[in-house]
Each structure stands twice: as C-alpha cells, then as structure tokens.
C-alpha cells in the first residue's frame, strides 16, 4: 500500500493559496489590487452542478527589495531617505545645527529661558554643567577640508579625534562629520585610551575592541578617508562646553562654548592634555566682533522645537557661520605672516605662503 505524499510546507501552502503559485523565497510581500493586467491569465474552472456563492478574488502580492546603502551613500547620504531622521544614537547622529555668537552678558538670560525645556547633560558636572573637550583636526597637507568650509562647499566633511578631560583616561572618539545641504551627519567610534595611538590610523594592523559592528564600520571609514586625502594632524582645538539635553523623546541639545583656544599639531598624534601654551581664539579679532562672544548652539533632529524658535526670536539671535577649526587655521596663518582682503581671501603671494 502506497503511503500518502507528505503535506506541503506551511509557508508554501499559504503563499499558494494567495497567489496560485510559489513566490520568491525570502521576499517582502506587499498587496496588489485585483484586476492588474500583469497577472497571468488562467483558464476558467469548470462550474459545479450546484454553484456556490462567488468568493472574493484572491489578492496577489508583489515583491520589493530595499537595497542596502553603499559606502558612498554612507558618506554622502541617500536622497529621499527619511530613515536618517531616526538614527540618532551614540554612534550615528543626524541633526541640524544653528550657531550664534552672543555677548557673555546674554548667557544667563538664555540659560534661564531654556531651563523648563532641558536637563543637564549626563556627562557634565558643576553648577553650570560643563566639561573640557580637546579635538585633533585632521586635514590634507594643502588644507582641503579647511578650504571647503571657507568656500562654503555645499557637501563637505571633517575628520577629527576628540577626548575629554586632562588625565588621558577618557576614550578617544573618531568622528566623521558631514554637512550636506545644511544638515549634519555625524558618525563616531569610541576607542579606549590604551588602544589609541598613531598606528591605529597610519598602520592599522591590529584589531581593537569596539562596542559593535557599527562602530567598527565607522572607524574603518574614518581610516579610509584619512588615506584618501593624505590626512595629517593639522591643529588642536580646546574649549569649555556647558551642555543641556532636551526633555522628552525628541532629540535636542543646547550648548555654550567658551574659553576657545588652539595650538598647532605639528604632525603629532599625541594629545597635549597637560600643556599650558594655547592660543586664544575667542578674541574680537578672531570673531570679527566688537566683543569676545560665547558660542551658542541649538541642535535638533528635524523640526525646530517651538521653544528654540521662541528663543531665537526673543533674543534676536543672528546666525554666525563660526567654525572652530577654520577659525584656528586662519589665526595660525595670520601669526605666520599671511594677509587677507576684506572678503577674507588669502592675498599672500604663493612664494611667501610656501615658506609658512
């Protein structure tokens, strides 16, 4: 006696009942309205003697695939990708940044205004929650990234390594910060102090312990771009940051940066955390103001929160395209004898500039 054939797999049975055939394995199925001319024509079944009431036509499902982003799309973004607004994590931050140079006397008033909408940053300490940040900016030998900012290139990026405090025990954060059509896309990888060193970028032959695969990709992308532009340590920037995070689920941050200073890197990858010789970069000359201002930054993920909008209007804040990295580079070039026009164009003769 022949045994009955085994029943078909459950998944196949379900798909066949909906489509009359087998769909591609591993597919994402979405409904298609009946009556589509693309459907295959099937012969009409024979009608039984006592026909039953006509059943609803079966729905057919069509297959769509979402292509994963390439490395270039990770670097420059992908058009129409709304998911970028949902990726604010410790390793990926996508946001809008608005910068304002405000008089020091205005800081207390702004701080009082934002108090109901924010809380102190969890990494900051003190009555006015603050920390000290030191950043090593990477650039090519001909300052490609610096001049991209000077010329206001629509799509540009920065490469930097940042740490906090003065004892050298804090992790080092490798950050790729892109600006595309006015929006900031920042990816980062956290490397422990014991793993940090020049060879990690110049000669990356050993594995380091990172949090997850996302950070590993971010670090590899950072190293790749350093190789592409022939990156070298350009300048160190240091400042005191008073920092607040927005209440609620929406991403938002408010920061006050003061005590901004810099020193040339001289092609060194070692952070001068205990060094005392830093050059002031929040002077009237550096900021093109008749006062030494504090840098106020408002940061949000998509729509500007109502309280940020009111803050801008109440205090008559005027945007300032102030970049600490480029400001430091400009000041250093002045100290080396460069001259600039009223339009901030470097007018130093090439033969003199080459000697600086």
- Is the pLDDT confidence value at 60 over 50? no
Compute the mean pLDDT over every residue in the chain, rounded to the nearest whole number.
78
Do 287 and 295 touch, CB atoms closer than 8 A? no
Do 69 and 187 touch, CB atoms closer than 8 A? no
328 sits in which H/E element: helix 324-335
- Summary count for the chain: helices (H), strands (E): 10, 12
pLDDT at 288: 77
Paired residues of 205 in beta bridges: none
Going along the chain from its start, the domains and CATH numbers come out as 97-353 (2.40.320.10)
119 sits in which H/E element: strand 118-120
pLDDT at 52: 54
The 3-state DSSP class for residue 287 equals: helix
Instruction: Decide which of 129 and 56 is more confident.
Output: 129
For 274-306, write each residue's pLDDT tens digit: 988 899 988 787 777 878 889 999 999 878 899
- Is the pLDDT confidence value at 33 over 50? no
- Is the pLDDT confidence value at 44 over 70? no
pLDDT at 47: 54
In angstroms, the CA 65 to CA 72 distance is 20
Provide, rounded to the nearest whole percent, the portion of the chain with pLDDT above 90. 49
Give residues with Cβ within 8 angstroms of 242, minimum separation 6: 124, 128, 129, 130, 255, 256, 257, 258
Closest CA to 22 of 13, 35, 33, 31: 13
- Is the pLDDT confidence value at 45 over 60? no
Closest CA to 119 of 241, 248, 239: 248
Q: Is 18 exposed, middle or buried (0-12, 13-18, 19+ CB in 10 A)?
A: middle
Q: Is 298 exposed, middle or buried (0-12, 13-18, 19+ CB in 10 A)?
A: buried
Instruction: Decide which of 69 and 292 is more confident.
Output: 292
Paired residues of 263 in beta bridges: 236
- Is the pLDDT confidence value at 4 over 50? yes
Helix 306-314 and helix 104-114: axis angle, to 10°? 150
- Tell me which range, 31-35, 94-98, 198-202, is most confidently predicted by mean pLDDT: 198-202
Task: Record the tokens describing residue 344, joined without a space.
Answer: 């901030």
- Is the pLDDT confidence value at 31 over 50? no
Split at pLDDT 50, 70, 90, the class of 2 is low
For 317-342, write each residue's pLDDT tens digit: 998 878 999 999 988 888 766 555 55
10 sits in which H/E element: helix 10-19
Do 100 and 318 touch, CB atoms closer than 8 A? yes
Instruction: Decide which of 349 and 225 is more confident.
Output: 225
- Is the pLDDT confidence value at 128 over 50? yes
- Is the pLDDT confidence value at 82 over 90? no
In angstroms, the CA 253 to CA 120 distance is 10
Backbone angles phi, psi at 18, to 5 degrees: -90, -35
Closest CA to 263 of 139, 135, 161: 135
Give residues with Cβ within 8 angstroms of 110, minimum separation 6: 102, 256, 296, 311, 315
Closest CA to 124 of 274, 316, 256: 256
> What's the DSSP call for residue 71?
H
Q: Which residue has the tokens 């012969």?
A: 43
pLDDT at 83: 40
In angstroms, the CA 243 to CA 249 distance is 18
Do 299 and 95 touch, CB atoms closer than 8 A? yes
pLDDT at 62: 39
In angstroms, the CA 93 to CA 184 distance is 8
Query: What's the average model confidence in pLDDT over 207-217?
Result: 89
């Amino acid at each position: 006696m022949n045994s009955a054939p085994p029943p078909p797999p459950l998944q196949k049975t379900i798909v066949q009942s909906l489509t009359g055939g087998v769909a591609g394995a591993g597919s994402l199925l979405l409904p298609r309205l009946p009556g589509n001319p693309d459907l295959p024509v099937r012969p009409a079944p024979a009608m039984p003697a006592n026909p039953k009431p006509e059943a609803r036509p079966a729905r057919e499902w069509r297959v769509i695939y979402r292509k994963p982003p390439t490395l270039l799309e990770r670097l420059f973004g992908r058009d129409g990708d709304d998911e970028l607004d949902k990726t604010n994590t410790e390793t990926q931050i996508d946001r809008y940044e608005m910068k304002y140079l405000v008089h020091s006397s205005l800081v207390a008033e702004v701080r009082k205004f934002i108090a109901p909408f924010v809380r102190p940053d969890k990494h900051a300490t003190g009555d006015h929650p603050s920390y000290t940040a030191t950043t090593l900016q990477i650039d090519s030998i001909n300052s490609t990234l610096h001049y991209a900012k000077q010329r206001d290139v629509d799509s540009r990026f920065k490469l930097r390594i940042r740490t906090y405090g003065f004892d050298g025990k804090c992790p080092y954060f490798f950050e790729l910060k892109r600006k595309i059509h006015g929006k900031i896309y920042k990816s980062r990888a956290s490397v422990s102090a014991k793993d940090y060193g020049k060879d990690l970028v110049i000669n990356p032959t050993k594995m380091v312990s990172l949090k997850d695969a996302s950070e590993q990709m971010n670090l590899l992308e950072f190293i790749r771009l350093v190789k592409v532009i022939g990156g070298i340590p350009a300048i160190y920037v240091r400042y005191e940051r008073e920092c607040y995070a927005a209440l609620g689920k929406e991403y938002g941050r408010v920061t006050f940066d003061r005590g901004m200073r810099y020193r040339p890197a001289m092609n060194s990858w070692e952070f001068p955390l205990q060094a005392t010789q830093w050059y002031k970069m929040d002077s009237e000359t550096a900021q093109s103001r008749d006062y030494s201002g504090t840098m106020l930054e408002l940061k949000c993920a998509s729509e500007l929160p109502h309280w940020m909008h009111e803050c801008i209007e109440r205090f008559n804040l005027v945007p300032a395209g102030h970049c600490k990295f480029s400001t430091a580079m400009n000041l250093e070039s002045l100290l080396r004898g460069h001259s600039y026009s009223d339009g901030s164009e470097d007018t130093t003769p090439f033969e003199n500039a080459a000697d600086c």
